[in-house]
Amino acid sequence: MMRRCPLCHAQESALYHQDRRRDYYQCATCALVFVPSEQYLTAAAEKAEYDQHQNSPQDTGYRRFLGRLFNPLATKLAPGARGLDFGCGPGPTLSVMFEEAGFDMDVYDIFYAPHAANLTRQYDFITATEVVEHLAAPGEALNQRVAQLLPGGYLGLMTKRVTSQQAFARWHYINDPTHVCFFSEATFRWWAAEQGLTVEFTGNDVVIFRKH
C-alpha cells in the first residue's frame, strides 16, 4: 500500500519496522520514518498524554535538558532578538530561559497556548523542543516556521534522531504513542536543502537551521 510522506508528500515509501501497536514507513525521497495516520491517537487521547508531563521552569533537570538547545542557539543571537517557542507545552520553560537572557519571547501550543496570531508574526529565531516527532503534518508546520523567520533567522529543533533500522527496533522513543514522525540527519539535510537553509548538528538530538 502506498503511503504519502507527511514531510515531503512523496508517494514512495517502504515498511521500515513493525511492532505490536504500529507500523513505521520510510520515505524513499526524504528518509523520514513515519506512522500512518490511521494509527494516530485521537486529539483528546493525545492531549491526555501531554497532560501527564510535569515540566516547569523550576525543574533544574528540565532546564539542563533544554540547555542542549538553549546554549548553542543563544550564543548565535544578536542582542534584542525576538523569538517564538513553538509547541511550548503545559509548562513553558525554554521561553523563560531566553527571557532571562534578555530576549523577548512569544509562545504557541495547539493545546496549551493556542495564540494563533503568533503563527503569523516574524521572528529572529524559533524553537521547537520535542515537538516535531508529534506533528501529523510536519512539512506544513516546518515550512510555515521558516516563512516566519526574518532573513538570517534561526530555527532550533530538539528531537531524537533515527540512526539505523537495528537501533530503531530497540528504540524507547517509538514506544510513545504520540510520536509519529522520526527524523534522521539525512532527513534534516534533505529538508534544509529544499528550504535553502544552512544546517548545523550541535548535539545528537539538536539541530539548528539558518535562513539566508
The CATH fold assigned to 13-52+59-211 is Rossmann fold (3.40.50)
> Please, which pLDDT band fits residue 54 given cuts at 50, 70 and 90?
confident
Check pLDDT > 70 for residue 178.
Answer: yes
For every residue of 30-82, DSSP letters joined together read T--EE--GGGSPPHHHHHHHHHT----TT-HHHHHHHHHHHHHHHTTSPTT-E
Q: Rounded CA gap, 148 and 27, in Å? A: 27
Residue 1 has pLDDT above 70, yes or no: no
Structure confidence at residue 97 as a pLDDT band (50, 70, 90):
very high
Is the model's pLDDT at 2 over the cut of 90?
Answer: no
Residues 107-123: tens digit of each pLDDT: 999 999 999 999 999 99
Cell of 147: 516563512
Q: Above 80 in pLDDT, residue 56?
A: yes
Mean pLDDT, to the nearest integer, of 194-202?
A: 98
pTM listed for this prediction? 0.97
